[in-house]
Amino acid sequence: MIPHSVTLPKKLPLVIVSDGVLLPGSTIRIPVSTVKNINLVRSRLTTGNRLRNTIIGIVTKETSKESHLGSLHEIGTAALVVQVTGTNWPRPSYTLLVTGMCRFKLLSIIQEHPYPVGAVMQIDYNKSLMSDDSDMQLKSLVGEFKEAAKMMIDLLDVSVPAVAKLKDLVEQVSSQQLTDLIASFVRATLPEKLQVLDAVDLATRLKVTFPLLLRHIQKLKEDKETGDTGSRKDLKIVKMTRGGRGLSRDADSYEDDPNEIAELEAKIREANLPEHALKTAMKELGRLKQMAPHMPESSMTRNYLDLIVELPWSVSVKDTCNISKARADLDADHYGLEKVKRRILEYLAVRQLRGDLKGPILCFVGPPGVGKTSIVKSIAVTLGRPYYRMSLGGVSDQHDIRGHRRTYIGSMPGRVIQGLRSVKVNNPVMLLDEIDKLGTGIHGDPGAALLEVLDPEQNSNFTDTYLNLPFDLSQVLFVATANALSTIPSPLMDRMEVIHVPGYTQDEKVMIGTLHLLPKQLEEHGLSPDILQMPQEIISTIIGEYTREAGVRALERKIGAICRAVAVQVAETKCDDTGTKTDSDVIVAEVDDDQMHKAEGSQKEDSTLEKEDSSHPVPEGSPALPNLAQLKEHMELPIIVDLKMIHDILGPPIFQSGLTGRVSVPGVAVGLAWTPVGGEVMVVEATSSAGDSNLTLTGQLGSVMQESAKIALSWVRQHAELLRIDKDFLKDEEIHMHFPAGAISKDGPSAGVTIITVLVSLLTKRCVRSDVAMTGEITLNGVVLPVGGIKEKLLAAHRAGLTTVIIPAANKKDLGDIPNSVLNDIEVVLVNTVEEVLQAAFDDGFGDMFETDNGKSVSPSSKL
């Protein structure tokens, strides 16, 4: 019950309702679904623990009225929010349980966004505002009112606890509260309730409420006489009044459609659901029919039923796979990638012959921008299936995959079921993007959930926690992508067949730029080769001076930037009626009829820019282009991009090619590293200074790297005499070795040969050849072991302009993957031992320093 005296703040956040009135003393539910009301709930009521103390104003909106407050009723009710329930999916919707405290006068709206706030003045239930009950006439009227109220209660079923409670309340509350309590209880129209709200002083309120009470009593009596005991109805009324009654909708939201349930039922019957789903849907529909429409459970059940109806239980597309078409499709979209394409074709052929999808999931692994995603899109096109991309980067909650239990507020199905709902067929190509970036958090392991999705033994009965019905995923073609293998959970790895997509060589990038990226960007910017051309040397310069990547994503962006600049230049070349050219005006404003016709789509309305002129798409923000013939009269076409133009548009070169200068002191060597984003050239440096015999390593190194450094040091100590290094070199000298790019943590054994070379260079005070890079693991005995990522490393060395690369002899087999264009430029030295590394890394090697037992000096095993 409301306190006898309340003092309101001067400002209140307002919830605006369209078809109800809250009176002080009564409790109602208010559904909230308009943006402003949702903003209010989110910022005031669902954050922190101030819920119980939160007072809001409930104001009724009257469509027929206009005043200085718009259509808002001048008098409102301050309410205490008792409970907030709701769901966020598929659209946010909350229900507030509020108890009316006192009336206020709405003076003005002082804030509209993100939710309205009103300046208010309290007008009742405050000691200073309480009217004095000493008026005898009023006292007797109150007595009569109380008697009538009791009579009404007697006509109700007192065995209902809420009715019994009401009976007690009538005795306990003040006359002010009694009138509000009864007025909120009896049936009345909206204007009648507003009249009660407007009746601030007791006498007026009694005058307004008494007739409503008498009418209600009359109605109850009539019901009794006609045999309709009214008990059910009244019970319902009582229930509603004592905590359950809701205003049907808040202002501006859609009206309740009485046929909604019937429509839902028809949809369920037409959806061709499997038996188990139909049974559940009908059961839920039965429950829905019993629920009051404004209850949160009702909207949750509706959402659930909508999902069941919209899921493609038995809808699939027919595969259009035909191997020669597949070959043509893959070739049309992608340059090179021969091995990858061959493997995809084999996979598709086997699948076609077997007629099912059982078998490993393909997983494309490689640096960003090498076309992994676009290959999967091409597979979908080839198969004629819809494509759905599920990004797994950062997913650390198993519920993201498996869905949330339906009892949980804001619950929703998992990504897989959501994906199927959006593609509307049960056999799409589903890309599990960045599967190596799955996390594990406190909410279970998403990897385990994914395992269930991918396992052919289990996935024909995949049960999403939200849907709670088995759904057959066996027809979905799952394909995954990843940057690195090491972070993919091993049970998932077991299900997958890895296809490496390595980085591209300079030549491959030039070809991809010319054949694919440029045409794509020209089209996206509404240009054509008649307007803009980019010679291969220019693309090559862009790659060398503006990108450092294994893939072609930055290249695509740079080409896009040039196209954009040219599109603006062309569009700004104004062609007026007399044919004279002026540069400064923007063509969109003044194109002639002919051009107007062509650029019609973009002239009409900004928002329809792309849709209207799809044959000639104009990217957002780009002006429309005049036609070619007219352009040719005013400017020299095609524009051929030259060096000056790329420097003007892209700015000064970002990267210098080569490592000039950096390797010209002792104690520096170039190593090759593999990273998830491709191969990297790493200049390793070492210096020595007086100190205690210590080796300090910096640059965020993992434990394997630290161990490699120790092995290298031991080897150097062991061979100090041969190398003519002072054996006590560590006694009073401290060596500091640094691996640059400290922000990136590095680990792995392949830096072993580089570390030894750097140490030998430092201690013998000889410079390492500046055109040599190396990779290889070492053992204590100086044996060089094979390492991974040879292709990426060689490509990185090639990009950096290095001409000799030392690799373990056991990696010879990997050279088959390297394009001839790279092998022609690089001399690959195959080595078995550290001695061979040193012979190749230093100019003139170490002469006959490393003599073998049979008297021959060691030289690298072979050169290619």
Residue type, 819: P
Q: From the list 205, 302, 341, 372, which residue makes contact with ligand ADP (rule: CB under 6 A)?
A: 372
Decide: is 799 part of the binding site for ligand ADP (CB under 6 A). Answer: no
Residue type, 663: V
CB 424 within 8 A of CB 313: no
Q: From the list 5, 229, 316, 374, which residue makes contact with ligand ADP (rule: CB under 6 A)?
A: 374
**Which of 191, 529 has the CB closer to ligand ADP?**
529
Q: From the list 24, 246, 296, 368, which residue makes contact with ligand ADP (rule: CB under 6 A)?
A: 368
Distance CA(409)–CA(406), nearest Å, equals 8
The residue written with tokens 């995959």 in the block is 401
**Which of 414, 551 has the CB closer to ligand ADP?**
551
Q: How much of the chain is in helix, strand and coil states, percent to nearest 5?
A: 45, 20, 40
CB of 438 to ligand ADP, least distance (A): 17
Print the binding letters for residues 473-512 with ligand ADP: x by CB under 6 A, - otherwise.
--------x------------------------------x
Per the residue annotation, which of 509, 558, 746, 793 is the catalytic one?
Answer: 793
With contacts defined by CB under 6 A, name the span among 159-167, 292-300, 308-316, 547-555 that binds ligand ADP: 547-555
CB of 430 to ligand ADP, least distance (A): 15
Print the binding letters for residues 820-859 with ligand ADP: x by CB under 6 A, - otherwise.
----------------------------------------
Distance CA(384)–CA(319), nearest Å, equals 6
Distance CA(864)–CA(853), nearest Å, equals 27
**Which of 61, 553 has the CB closer to ligand ADP?**
553
Residue 750 is a catalytic residue: yes
CB of 723 to ligand ADP, least distance (A): 45
Decide: is 634 part of the binding site for ligand ADP (CB under 6 A). Answer: no
CB of 266 to ligand ADP, least distance (A): 43
Distance CA(88)–CA(43), nearest Å, equals 15
Print the binding letters for residues 278-317 with ligand ADP: x by CB under 6 A, - otherwise.
----------------------------------------
Indicate the helix (H) or strand (E) that contains 101.
strand 93-111
* Window 548 to 567, contacts with ligand ADP (CB under 6 A): 551-553, 556
**Which of 166, 512 has the CB closer to ligand ADP?**
512
CB atoms within 10 A of CB 584: 6
# of chain residues touching ligand ADP (CB under 6 A):
18
Decide: is 90 part of the binding site for ligand ADP (CB under 6 A). Answer: no
**Which of 523, 594 has the CB closer to ligand ADP?**
523
CB of 501 to ligand ADP, least distance (A): 7
The torsion angles phi and psi of 126, rounded to 5 degrees, stand at: -130, 140
Distance CA(26)–CA(15), nearest Å, equals 16
**Which of 149, 818 has the CB closer to ligand ADP?**
818
Decide: is 521 part of the binding site for ligand ADP (CB under 6 A). Answer: no
Decide: is 788 part of the binding site for ligand ADP (CB under 6 A). Answer: no
CB 478 within 8 A of CB 376: no
Decide: is 516 part of the binding site for ligand ADP (CB under 6 A). Answer: yes
Decide: is 402 part of the binding site for ligand ADP (CB under 6 A). Answer: no
Is the bond into 191 cis (omega within 30 degrees of 0)? no
Cα 146 from chain centroid? 61
Distance CA(598)–CA(75), nearest Å, equals 58
The torsion angles phi and psi of 368, rounded to 5 degrees, stand at: -65, 150
Decide: is 532 part of the binding site for ligand ADP (CB under 6 A). Answer: no
Distance CA(82)–CA(80), nearest Å, equals 6
- Nearest one of 617, 588, 616, 622 to 604, comparing CA atoms: 588
**Which of 499, 669 has the CB closer to ligand ADP?**
499
Print the binding letters for residues 317-356 with ligand ADP: x by CB under 6 A, - otherwise.
-----------------xxxx-------------------
Decide: is 819 part of the binding site for ligand ADP (CB under 6 A). Answer: no
**Which of 221, 553 has the CB closer to ligand ADP?**
553
The torsion angles phi and psi of 469, rounded to 5 degrees, stand at: -140, 140
Decide: is 791 part of the binding site for ligand ADP (CB under 6 A). Answer: no
Number of residue whose CB is nearest ligand ADP? 371
Indicate the helix (H) or strand (E) that contains 793.
helix 790-799
Decide: is 446 part of the binding site for ligand ADP (CB under 6 A). Answer: no
Distance CA(93)–CA(854), nearest Å, equals 86
CB of 368 to ligand ADP, least distance (A): 4
Vertex 506, ends 503 and 511: CA angle to 5°? 95
* The two structure tokens encoding residue 847: 């002469």
Decide: is 369 part of the binding site for ligand ADP (CB under 6 A). Answer: yes
Decide: is 434 part of the binding site for ligand ADP (CB under 6 A). Answer: no
Q: From the list 230, 371, 447, 845, which residue makes contact with ligand ADP (rule: CB under 6 A)?
A: 371
Which DSSP string do the residues of 347-386 spell out, in sequence order?
A: HHHHHHHH-S--SPEEEEE--TTSSHHHHHHHHHHHHT--
Decide: is 390 part of the binding site for ligand ADP (CB under 6 A). Answer: no
CB of 730 to ligand ADP, least distance (A): 46
Per the residue annotation, which of 18, 750, 761, 770 is the catalytic one?
Answer: 750
Which DSSP string do the residues of 217-269 spell out, in sequence order?
A: HHHHHHHHHTT---HHHHHHHHHHHEEEEE-S-BTTSPPPPTTHHHHHHHHHH
**Which of 419, 551 has the CB closer to ligand ADP?**
551
Q: Which residues pair with 103 in a beta bridge?
A: 77
Cβ contacts of 213-222, under 8 Å, gap ≥ 24: 213/145, 213/148, 213/149, 213/152, 213/182, 213/183, 213/186, 214/148, 215/186, 216/152, 216/186, 216/187, 217/148, 217/151, 217/152, 217/155, 219/187, 220/152, 220/155, 220/156, 221/155
Residue 584 is a catalytic residue: no
Decide: is 685 part of the binding site for ligand ADP (CB under 6 A). Answer: no
**CA dihedral sign, ordered 632, 637, 638, 641:** negative
Phi-psi region of 485 (alpha: psi -120 to 50; beta: other; left: phi over 0): alpha
Decide: is 370 part of the binding site for ligand ADP (CB under 6 A). Answer: yes
* The two structure tokens encoding residue 344: 């995809």
With contacts defined by CB under 6 A, name the span among 272-280, 366-374, 655-663, 734-742 that binds ligand ADP: 366-374
Question: Which whole-number Å values give the CA distances from 727 to 711, 736, 764, in the listed order?
Answer: 16, 18, 12
Which residues are part of the catalytic machinery? 750, 793
Residues forming the site for ligand ADP (CB under 6 A): 334-337, 368-374, 481, 512, 516, 551-553, 556
